Amino acid sequence: MKLLFAFTTAFVCVGNSFVLPSPPGPKFGPKFGPKFGPSPIYSQIRGGSSPVSPTSEPPTPSPTPSRTVSLTNHINYDEVPDLPLVSTTPEWKALEEHAKEIEETHLRDYIMDDERCDAMHVLEDGIMLDYSRQRVTEKTLDLLSDLAEAQLLRSKMTSMYRGAPINFTEKRAVLHTALRSRKDSPLRPVVDGLDVVDEVHSVLEQIKKFTDMVREGEVTGYTGKQLRNIVSVGIGGSYLGPEFLHECLKTEPEGVNAALGYTLRFLSNVDPVDVERTCSELDPEETLIIIVSKTFTTAETMLNARTMRQWLWDFMGNDPEVVSKHVVACASTSATDKVRSFGISDDYFFRFWDWVGGRYSVCSAAGAVPISLVYGFDLFSKVLDGARSMDEHFIQKPLRRNIPMLMGLIGVWNMSFLKYNMRTTLPYAEALLKLPAHIQQLDMESNGKHVTRSGKEVDYLVGEVDFGEPGTNGQHSFFQLLHMGQAVPCDFIGFVKSQNDLVVDGETLSSHDELMTNFFAQPDALANGKTADELRAEGVPEWQIPHRTFHGNRPSMSLLLPKLTAFHVGQLLALYEHRTAVQGFVWDLNSFDQWGVELGKKLALGIKDKLVEGRAGRKIKADNPSTKRLLDYYVNSVNEDEEEGTGRKQPGWGKNGPAGSDFARQPPQPHNLKDRGTKLN
C-alpha cells in the first residue's frame, strides 16, 4: 500500500522543521511539560480554528518564545527502530523496584494526603478524571513518563494520526481519527493516492443525503411505504459500538424526539432465535436492512444477511427491486463487487476503508448509517464533534493533563507491575449499559497479544480481562468479589446531570442523586476497606469479624462528565480508543490486528463440511477423538429426534416458523411474481 503525507503550508518552515508556540509551562515540574508535552502535530489537527469543545476556551498563548521542532523528532512508525523487549529496559526495571517500594503503603493513607489528591485529578473540557485512589505517587508518574519516552509513545501517536502503516502485519494505516476530522483539516493523510479527509467527507455527505431522504419519505420501500424499521446486521465492532451509541441516544432528550416513529434493532448472532427476536413485530414493507461487513465475507454476518434477504423475498417476492430498495451495505471499497452481486445498488452502498479497524469503526458508515437513519445526521454529527475534541485533547495535552494518556499509563502500571489482570467498567448511567461490552472488545481484541511488534514473546502481563455492568446493578452482582475477593481496578463513570431525572414525592433526593451516592461511596469503600478494630468498635461479635473484614487497598479511578449527550458520548468513545492505543504502544504491541479471531473461523469451515457429511448419513471423520465424539452425539441426537417427529424444523419461514411469530401469522408469498406484476397488490 502506497502512503503519502500531505501537509499544509500554514506553518513557518525552517528546513525540515516548522515553528509552533511552546506549550504552557507545567504545574508539576519539567517532567510533564515540554519534555513530554504536546506533539507538534496538534497544531495541524486544530488548524488554529475552533476550541476543543463548545464549552472550552481557546488556549492562552504562551509568553515564552517560539521553539523549532524538527519533523524528524517524530519519526514515521515504519522507521521506529526495533525496540528491545520493554521488560529489559532501565525504565521498566525502575518501575519494578518502585512497585516493591509502595507495596506496604495502603490506599487509605494515600487518600488522606490533601496535596497528593489535589495533584491527582484533571479537569479538561468538562471531564473530571480523579485517579487519587490509584496506587500511584508522584514518583510513579515520573517513572511512567520515562517509560513512555523510552517506548517512543509520542512518535507512535503522531505516526497514527499521519497515516503511517502502523498495522504493519496487514500493511494498513490506522486512521479512525480521520473519520471525525473537520473538512478543512490541515492534516491530510493520503492513502493509495486518495486524500483521506476528502474521502471521509464525501461519504458523510452521501450518508446525510440518503438518511435525510429516508426520514423525509423521499426514499421508500418496494411497496411505497416509508422505511421506519432499521435492522443493522453485523458482528463484533460492526455491532457493539453502534449499539452502544444507540443505547446512549435513545433516552437523550434530543434523541427521543428525533427517533419518534423509528425502531433500530441489531442482528449479530447466527442463532435463529436472534433472527426471530429481531424480526418480531416488524413489517417487512417498512424495514430497511443494513449489512455491515468490511470485507462482505464475514461468515456470521453474511448468513444473517442472506437470511434477512430471504425474509424480504418471502413476504414481497423475489423481484430484484425488493433488495435494491430494502438493503444497504456498509463495507470496504475492496468489497464493491461482492456488494453489487448481493443485489445492492451503488446508491445504497456506503463505503469505508481498509484503514478502519472494525472495533474502531463506530464513526464510519458502520455507525453513521444506522444512527443517522433513526436519530438524524445532525445528532450523529455531534458524536463526531465530541470524538474529535478528545482526539485533539489526546495529541495536544501534556501527560499530567492528558486523560487517555494517564488512564493508559496507569493501566500499564496496574497490569504489568501490580499484577492486576482484570479491569471493570462501572458506568453509573443506565444509558451506558452497552459500554462495557464495547470496551471489552476494543481492549481485549487490541491488546490480547503475546508478541511485540518485532515478534518477541512478551514476558510481562498485557491485555486485561475486561467486564462491567451499570451501577447500581453491578453492586448486587459481582461487587462482592471486588470488595472481598480478587482485587480488580475499577473505572467509575458518572454524570453531573441525568438525561431524565425523577423526584418522587416524599424523597429527600432525586433518583439521580440517589444513584450518584453510590458512585461516590463505592470507590472509598474499595480503597479504605474496614478493619477488625473498626468492626469491634461497632460491637460486631468476634467470631464474625474475619467474615466482615474488608482489606481495602483496591484501586479505582472516577470519570465525571456534565451530562450524557451526543457530544459527551463521542468524547467517551474516543477516550477509550486512545487509552487502548497508549497501552499497546507502551507494551510495543500491534493493537490493530486480530489474528486470534481467524483460527477459529477457519476451523469452523472444516466442521461445516463434516456436518454436511453427518446430515447425509455418512460417517464423520474428525481431526481428533474429542471433536468426533461431540459431533457424533450432536448429529445422532438430532436424527433420532427427527425419526420420532420431534426434531428440528426444516429451514424457511411461514408454517415452519415458531408458533406465534410474525412468520406464523403472515405466511410468505410465493417467489414467482409473473402472475402478480412487479408490485404487491
Q: For residue 77, what pLDDT is reported?
A: 52
Name the band, by pLDDT with cuts 50, 70 and 90, for residue 70.
very low
- What does 159-210 look like in DSSP terms, one character per residue? HHHHT---BTTTTB---GGGGG--TT-S-EEEETTEEHHHHHHHHHHHHHHH
pLDDT band at 598; cut points 50, 70, 90 = confident
Which tens digits make up the pLDDT trace of 404-443? Answer: 999 999 999 999 999 999 999 999 999 999 999 999 999 9
Report the 10 Å Cβ neighbour count for 224.
11
Instruction: Please check the confidence at residue 670 and state whether its pLDDT lies above 90.
Output: no
Q: Please say if 97 is a catalytic residue.
A: no
By mean pLDDT, which of 194-208, 248-262, 385-399, 625-639 is the weakest? Answer: 625-639
Catalytic site residue from 243, 252, 445, 469:
445
Q: Residue 237 burial (CB < 10 Å; 0-12/13-18/19+)?
A: buried
Domains of the chain: 86-151+397-587 (3.40.50.10490), 194-385 (3.40.50.10490), 596-649 (no CATH)
Residue of higher predicted confidence among 650 and 528: 528
Which of the four pLDDT bands, split at 50, 70 and 90, describes residue 599? confident
The residue-averaged pLDDT of 534-540 equals: 97
Mean pLDDT along residues 202-230: 98
| Whole-number average pLDDT of the chain | 86
What distance, in Å, lies between the first and last C-alpha atoms of the chain?
A: 52
Radius of gyration over every alpha carbon of the chain, rounded to an integer in angstroms = 27
pLDDT value at residue 148: 98
Q: Is the pLDDT of residue 43 over 60?
A: no
Tens of pLDDT, residues 1-13: 434 333 332 332 3
Q: How confident is the model at residue 349 (pLDDT cuts 50, 70, 90)?
A: very high
Across 71-141, the runs of DSSP E, i.e. the strands, are: 121-124, 127-130
Q: Average pLDDT, stretch 340-365? A: 96
Residue 472: is the preceding peptide bond cis (ω within 30°)? yes
Catalytic residue among 139, 419, 450, 601: 601
Pairwise CA distance, residues 61 & 680, whole Å? 67
469 catalytic? Reply is: no
Find the catalytic residue in 476, 551, 671, 679: 476
Q: pLDDT band for position 57 (50/70/90)?
A: very low
pLDDT at 20 over 70: no
Average pLDDT in the 159-183 region? 96
DSSP 618: P
In this structure, of 37-41, 404-408, 436-440, 529-533, the range with the lowest mean pLDDT score is: 37-41
| 422: β partners | 465
Please answer whether residues 243 and 236 qualify as being in contact, where contact means their C-beta atoms are separated by less than 8 angstroms: no
Q: Does the pLDDT at position 346 exceed 50?
A: yes
> What is the reported pLDDT for 380?
99
The per-residue pLDDT for range 98-126, each reduced to its tens digit, is 999 999 999 999 999 999 999 999 999 89
At 601 the pLDDT is 84
pLDDT score of 73: 39
Decide if pLDDT at 276 tops 70: yes
% the chain with pLDDT above 90: 78
Mean pLDDT of 197-206: 98
Give CA separation, 421 vs 6, 91, 170, in Å.
41, 21, 28
Residue 201 annotated among the catalytic residues of the structure: no
Angle, helices 153-162/138-150, rounded to nearest 10 degrees: 60
**Residue 680: which pLDDT band, with cuts at 50, 70 and 90?**
very low
When comparing pLDDT for 676 and 68, which is higher?
676
CB 393 within 8 A of CB 385: no
User: Considering only CA atoms, which of 162, 199, 49, 79 is closest in space to residue 395?
Assistant: 162
601-616 pLDDT, tens digit each:
888 889 999 999 998 8
Q: Which of 133-147, 355-369, 517-531, 646-660 has the lowest mean pLDDT?
A: 646-660
pLDDT above 70 covers what percent of the chain?
82
Kindly report the pTM of this predicted structure: 0.86
